[in-house]
Amino acid sequence: MLINNEPSLILKDKKIILLDNDFLGDLYESRELLEDVIKLDSSKKLYLHPFTEFEFLRNVFLPRIRILKEQFISSQFFGHIKAENHLKIFQKIFDNSLLLSKIYAHKNLALGSSFIDLTLASLLMYLKTNAILITGNKRDFPSCLFDTLSVLNFESKEGNIRAIGIVAFNQAKFDRCYKDLQKLES
């Protein structure tokens, strides 16, 4: 069950809504959460980056679980970034990822951000104002570079409350961090 602060207007304004693996895992575990998120704006698909799909499917030992997970991400609710689009921009995304990792390190935020998290952060940077990300792990998208647009809260089956962040890249924040990084490197 979502307990939220009305992010539906935020979702309607964006062309692309990306998901990270943490949130994708939450959706997989909770049909109710998936239904609630879809109700926020049923006209939009939730997009999965190929690396997010990889992260979601890796380490699945049992074939029946892998099949269920593959069916889940193949459902109508999800859009997929096509391989040819991914490859066209990969070098730029990779370069941005490296730059973001330097900024994270400079700001002492480098702990725990995986290559995939940096790739998603870089994709947000590349898409600028056209995309947002729904993340189950906000610390991978620090406030020095990203705005938290809204927070979805939901109650899990166990009765725990989880906070899910909706984040967007902030060019002005990036420009300040990049300027600080250049000063440090010169």
Q: Which CATH fold would you assign to the domain 2-185?
A: Rossmann fold (3.40.50)
Q: pTM for the complete prediction?
A: 0.88
Give yes or no for a contact between 19 and 46, defined as CB atoms under 8 angstroms apart.
Answer: yes
At 110-155, the pLDDT tens digits run 666 889 999 999 999 999 889 999 999 898 999 999 999 888 888 8
So what's the pLDDT on residue 154?
A: 83
- Strand pairing of 16-19 and 131-135? parallel
So what's the pLDDT on residue 176?
A: 95
DSSP, res 168:
E
At 42-80, the pLDDT tens digits run 677 899 999 999 999 998 989 999 999 999 999 988 999
Domain ranges of the chain: 2-185
Amino acid (one-letter) located at 36: D
Q: How confident is the model at residue 6 (pLDDT cuts 50, 70, 90)?
A: low
